Structure 1
């Protein structure tokens, strides 16, 4: 297909792509409204609107602004971060099963945070803002170890070897997490067990502020690198033939994916499968071109995690199911489906 034909096809797709992104945004707003009304104390949409406009009662303001809105915003940010990280990893490895959880990156970030919160209670502002940095360190070391073990000079980075080593490293780290959690006192053990199951534990605006800078910096950087991802997705020879510094670009994008996943783990716990499901769903509805795929992943991941968190808070009221368990219930069958279809 010539460049003129490609340009014509892209122009025809733009209205459709814009409509899809708009629909995803509308769905997020719809679930957002439902989520604000989900909890032990119900707030009708009219009461929510009045409270947002400053006309609600003190109790309604406390429920909405101090408890529900921070968690909703964190769900949106974490879902977007995990989804984009998964999209980057799938494109770099050219493997449909790659995502931060299956590659063990989430486990590495979780181990660093677990070690920290086991010895330093997160009761002041400083430790909370340090959590993303600690998670980034744990995720980065884990990613470096997996990359070192999976890379071979003869054939480069094998997608199958990357997945298998990632699963093995992740399993080892999860075992270490369990050993460390058994040494905790009952109160901390209950918190850590729930956190490892994937409960969004950052329940106030401090956690939003700790995560927000990472999302605001890394997502635009990733969108800027969309064309690079398109080329890298073609294989090893094509980018090198075009004069691209393949290894440098791969390391930069890998670092962005690790930082996104690590910072999200710091406030959300061990939530998996978002980075697996969201890119596949987005790819099915908008195609593989990263200029539109990455924004679609952002919205799809945010919608998926917010929906899962809302279901987890609603289905067993007054108790709640950790968001990670709800996502796993949705994601495990899809993971098996992808595994069955994989030719690797």
Structure 2
């Protein structure tokens, strides 16, 4: 499918998802004051004229979307949607800036389910998950996902948890497009084939823009990926839970179109799971409450969602969470 066809389909989806009947919400009641929005989220004070008017309208449009999305609120744990730092972006701008991952078709998982899984499991409890990062206005989620899985698996193996260089993957994974997007599978395949060692982030810091690849000698220390697996767990999310417990945090590609408006809670609706566009790190799950959910680390900073995390209902492949899931081996 070409990118133009993709946009046409997404436009049609948005029309269905946010129908005209939901556009009659009184803007005076629902739109956040734009000056307050600018101050709260640190937007440029010099925004004026036509751009200011346009962004003010986007905030009003976002408030109308939230009225529709929050109408699906059923229980206290349900996802909540509202004004956040992405609210002055059009839906198209948001996709162009942040949803730049692509997914290669993964084979269906054909292994056995793991028996005796705990009711809840979170790799953060083992101190092997690095803090939430912020990709900023760069389509580098695919690199954050791959590096996040790699550094966690290394820590699970007994090494000290250390933030590895996302910028190195962004600059050097030649099969991908840097800030213009990429594939977790292609990045992992590049790491496997080249045996490139990922260096600490302190040695190759993140710049939120694509740069020239900096090469290191073979004798330079770092972390090399020996292998990886990528599977489609759709219809087999219990098996995916076992995979998470046995292999470590998992790099997954999801449909995050509705995440522009997400504030917190467990997402159960508004994800088509048909167009994968964003890479994340699945670090745990919880099946104790009324709504079982995945615990997913995002790369949009700690002010987004649940302190940088999003919770996604287990079952039904919500947001396409199970479509393309990769595990790393060191």
TM-score, normalised by the number of residues in structure 1: 0.30
- Between Structure 1 and Structure 2, the one with more helix by share is 1
The structure with higher relative contact order (CA 8 Å, sep 6+) is 1
Higher strand content, 1 or 2: 2
